[in-house]
């Protein structure tokens, strides 16, 4: 087995390598003056089982192209099997046609990854589970729920918890965490007048006197989360926190969270947010390196990945 990473999230790749007690392969990635990328792998890859770690986070297009070029280089180096480890799958929110003459970009990206030579894909908390069906190669979608459950039990009294889905589409995700914790669930009823904007319409469930934890897969600008936290507090919630898998945290999201009703926001390190979290008073990162590392070990040894979530 060989581990290799691009430039999108080197701290996570290093943590995975430490978990597996395996070195990261040497690779040179350079950018020409016109923005083109050049990749050179400085190790023999012939006949190797290679795991390439590269989330396609901001800048999404650059990191996606880097992933594709690295896989092409591995293919031409005669790697036996290439597994694209994509902790954050960019373009996942464009998974269906939302209007006339719009693309399904998640499917396009899936085609590009398979066409570049990936033999299988390993992801974390896809925005929609059916995106796995966009790939014609084996795809394992991991869940951060067990890691978050452990962290919640360490930091919260679970007797008075209410798990909150920020929209109807996230109910299944919220119910899965609530079941593990033995907690109730509530739902935020919202609408989106424009892309990237959300307006809370109603809270489904009695949150009065409860400690609420909003559970979702992606936080981008933070506006939706802050509005939901304010609405929950207005309905009598004693405290509102949030556990979100992918901390995109674009723009002034961290500052917005700091000024909101949110007691704490916990994101995983699927996206490298270290620079954004410096000085953040109520935002912290939870590592998913052990989860990804164990999944990689099981795939390499042809063991069950689903057993991780039993």
- H-run or E-run covering 69: helix 60-76
Q: How confident is the model at residue 64 (pLDDT cuts 50, 70, 90)?
A: very high
In whole angstroms, give the CA distance from residue 298 to residue 306: 10
Annotated binding-site residue numbers:
34-36, 93-94, 127, 167, 192, 216, 220-224
Both 251 and 118 in one domain: the answer is no
Q: Which residue has the higher pLDDT, 297 or 278?
A: 297
Contact call for residues 124 and 245 (beta carbons, < 8 A): yes
* Residue 177 within a domain: yes
Query: What's the pLDDT at 279?
Result: 84
Q: In what order do the strands lie in the sheet with 81-86?
A: 2-5, 49-53, 81-86, 120-124, 139-142
Query: What's the pLDDT at 288?
Result: 98
Taking 60 as the threshold, does the pLDDT of residue 196 lie above it?
no
Both 150 and 253 in one domain: the answer is yes
* Residue 306 within a domain: no
* Residue 167 within a domain: yes
Mean pLDDT of 89-99: 94
Both 16 and 108 in one domain: the answer is yes
Contacts of 86 (CB under 8 A, 6+ apart): 54, 55, 56, 67, 113, 121, 122, 123, 124
Query: What's the pLDDT at 304?
Result: 96
Both 199 and 163 in one domain: the answer is yes
Query: What's the pLDDT at 169?
Result: 85
Q: Which of 126, 142, 158 is the last residue of a domain?
A: 142
pTM reported for the whole predicted model = 0.94
| Residue range(s) defining the domain that contains residue 261 | 145-287
Q: Which of 76, 109, 142 is the last residue of a domain?
A: 142
Both 46 and 177 in one domain: the answer is no
* Residue 109 within a domain: yes
Which listed residue (179, 190, 252, 307) is catalytic?
190
Mean pLDDT of 69-87: 98
Taking 70 as the threshold, does the pLDDT of residue 194 lie above it?
no
Both 48 and 176 in one domain: the answer is no
* Residue 308 within a domain: no
Number of domains in the chain: 2
Taking 90 as the threshold, does the pLDDT of residue 201 lie above it?
no
* Residue 6 within a domain: yes
Distances in whole angstroms, Cα of residue 70 to Cα of each of 29, 58, 63, 136, 262:
9, 18, 10, 20, 40
Taking 80 as the threshold, does the pLDDT of residue 191 lie above it?
no
Mean pLDDT of 60-73: 98
Question: Is 233 known to be catalytic?
Answer: no
Taking 70 as the threshold, does the pLDDT of residue 195 lie above it?
no
Query: What's the pLDDT at 108?
Result: 98
- Kindly report the CATH number assigned to the domain that includes residue 119: 3.40.50.2020
How confident is the prediction for the chain on average, in pLDDT?
Answer: 94
Query: What's the pLDDT at 4?
Result: 98
* Residue 243 within a domain: yes
* Residue 59 within a domain: yes
- Report the Cα 264 to chain-centroid distance in Å: 18
Mean pLDDT of 47-59: 97
- Tell me what percent of the residues of the chain surpass a pLDDT of 90: 89
Query: What's the pLDDT at 297?
Result: 98
Interval 97-130: pLDDT, tens: 989 999 999 999 999 999 999 999 999 999 999 9
């Amino acid at each position: 087995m060989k581990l290799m990473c691009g430039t999108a999230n080197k701290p996570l790749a290093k943590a995975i390598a430490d978990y597996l007690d395996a070195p990261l392969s040497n690779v040179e990635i350079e950018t020409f003056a016109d923005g083109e990328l050049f990749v050179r792998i400085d190790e023999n890859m012939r006949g190797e089982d290679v795991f390439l770690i590269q989330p396609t986070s901001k800048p999404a297009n650059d990191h996606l192209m880097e992933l594709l070029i690295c896989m092409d280089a591995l293919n031409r180096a005669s790697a036996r099997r290439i597994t694209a480890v994509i902790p954050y799958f960019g373009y996942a929110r464009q998974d269906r046609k939302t209007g006339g003459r719009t693309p399904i970009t998640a499917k396009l990206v899936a085609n590009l990854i398979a066409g570049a030579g990936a033999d299988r894909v390993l992801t974390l908390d896809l925005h929609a589970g059916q995106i796995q069906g966009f790939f014609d190669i084996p795809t394992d979608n991991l869940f951060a729920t067990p890691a978050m459950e452990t962290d919640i039990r360490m930091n919260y009294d679970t007797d008075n918890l209410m798990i909150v889905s920020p929209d109807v589409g996230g109910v299944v995700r919220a119910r899965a965490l609530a079941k593990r914790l033995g907690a109730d669930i509530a739902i935020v009823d919202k609408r989106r007048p424009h892309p990237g904007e959300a307006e809370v319409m109603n809270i489904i469930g009695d949150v009065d006197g409860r400690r609420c934890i909003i559970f979702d897969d992606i936080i981008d600008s933070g506006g939706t989360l802050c509005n939901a936290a304010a609405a929950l507090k207005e309905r009598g919630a004693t405290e509102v926190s949030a556990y979100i898998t992918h901390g995109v945290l674009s723009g002034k999201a961290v500052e917005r969270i700091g000024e909101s009703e949110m007691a704490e926001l916990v994101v995983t390190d699927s996206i490298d947010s270290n620079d954004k979290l410096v000085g953040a008073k109520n935002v912290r990162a939870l590592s998913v390196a052990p989860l990804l590392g164990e999944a990689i070990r099981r795939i390499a040894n042809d063991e069950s990945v689903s057993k991780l979530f039993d």
